[in-house]
Amino acid sequence: MPRSVPNVRLRILLALFLVSIFVGAQKIETVNGVRVVHNEKGGKWGANPEVKLELVRTIGGLDAEVNLSFNNPNDIVQDSVGNLYILDTDNNRIQKLDSEGKFIKTIGRKGQGPGEFQAAHSMDIDNEDNLFVFDMRSRRIEVLSSEGKPLRTTKFRAFSGGQIRLLKPGLIVRGGSLDYGIVMGRVKKLPKLLEVVDQNGKAKFAFGEATDYGDGNTSWHANYFNLDTDSEKNICLNFQWQNRIEKYAPDGRLLWRADRPLNYGTDVIEKGFVTRRGAQGPKMNVVSSGIAADGKGRIWVITLRRQLTKEERGSGGSVVATDAGVVSRTIPTQPKVVKGDAYKLEIFSPDGILLGEISLTHHAHGIRIFGNNLFIREYYNTIFYQYKIIENESH
């Protein structure tokens, strides 16, 4: 029996409607040969996210025992057998833990010799479980075995603050902040965002365009970003004060740029100023505080739903020396906030489409992903939250 014309038309209209919903979820254009994605709220997944997070454990905290009592822990990595390495920056050490979060040993100490740190800020781990530790103050990268044995030191003449990630063997990408010389007027032209160097510290090439705000001070502050690499060594960036997420190929080609609706503006509210003692940064709304890529190439970004209140921001608290000779943070001078609704995780597809979001109930100041383990750093309470990424089987 032939189909009725109304039923056919209805199906065609329904199909067109569904397509319009998908296409309407974002506007995609090409600008100077680059894919630019303007996402809308909600994301592709809508009310049925394809992933969820399950809390495995917390590591550290203000009341932790001495080996898990951190002072400004800036990074965490996981090796091939599940051991964890926490970069305890202000204690000039790395704490090695087993897969259950139990302390194994301390790696490193304060100093300027091999395996010693002055201001270690970022680290990464290679396929042989060697640690690459970037020390800003010493302008070098210390390469250590998983047991803490010094293997190699890479020194740099000039190396600004920020993060490092490993690319193909022998190459490292670094970035996070611009050369401070633009604040003081020593650097007239905005430098590139990222630089690739070899294992001897020699610069190979630089790439990525900074946003020019018209003065060095504002440009320096407003171009701060976090970075991570995916399994194909593409480089992903999120900007702390800009509505801007980018993905670059390993050779420095910009693959795409994306933005999304925010509940606040990103204009400069009030410009800062420069004094003899340093630079007072501009007043701007904070957008995001971390980025990480998972094994499927999806990009996870820590984003603020709203701006924090004065009570929520805190001031980091005071520190106290312990019997073990390390320094531990104590109760923040502002009330400690354990739960809240200001932060969320946004999940983007490998090509910049906003898929969905997951609410967080605590502060979040950094993120790393290894396998199905997702780690979030919470600065004020010196704690790491370890989550398991669970794929929704119904999808």
Residue 1 makes CB contacts below 8 A (sequence gap 6+) with none
The span from the CA of 131 to the CA of 141, in Å, is 10
Output the average pLDDT for the chain. Answer: 89
Checking if the pLDDT of 207 tops 80, the result is yes
Q: What are phi and psi of 219, to 5 degrees?
A: -65, -40
**Which token pair is 375?**
């780690």
With beta carbons less than 8 A apart as the criterion, state whether 308 and 252 touch.
Answer: no
Checking if the pLDDT of 299 tops 70, the result is yes
Checking if the pLDDT of 161 tops 80, the result is no
Q: Which of 139, 130, 163, 135 is nearest to 235 (CA)?
A: 163
The span from the CA of 50 to the CA of 146, in Å, is 35
Cα separation values, 270 from 214, 218, 314, Å: 13, 10, 21
Could you tell me whether strands 116-117 and 288-293 are parallel, antiparallel, or unpaired per DSSP bridges? unpaired
* Residue 90: strand, helix, or coil: helix
**Which token pair is 367?**
């993120």
Residue 200 makes CB contacts below 8 A (sequence gap 6+) with 154
Dump the DSSP string for 348-378: E-TTS-EEEEEE-SS---EEEEETTEEEEEE
Checking if the pLDDT of 302 tops 90, the result is yes
**Which token pair is 200?**
């001897």
Calculate the CA dihedral of residues 270, 274, 275, 276 and round it to 10 degrees: 160
Compare 354 and 8 and report the one with higher pLDDT. Answer: 354
Single-letter code of the amino acid located at 378: E
With beta carbons less than 8 A apart as the criterion, state whether 33 and 358 touch.
Answer: no
Tell me what the mean pLDDT of segment 173-192 comes to. Answer: 90
The span from the CA of 118 to the CA of 383, in Å, is 22
pLDDT of res. 136? 86
Q: Which domains does the chain have, with CATH numbers?
A: 25-391 (2.120.10.30)
Cβ count near 285 (within 10 Å): 17
Tell me what the mean pLDDT of segment 252-279 comes to. Answer: 93
pLDDT of res. 331? 54
Strand segments (E) across 127-244: 131-135, 140-144, 150-155, 162-166, 171-176, 194-198, 203-207, 225-229, 235-239
Could you tell me whether strands 109-110 and 116-117 are parallel, antiparallel, or unpaired per DSSP bridges? parallel
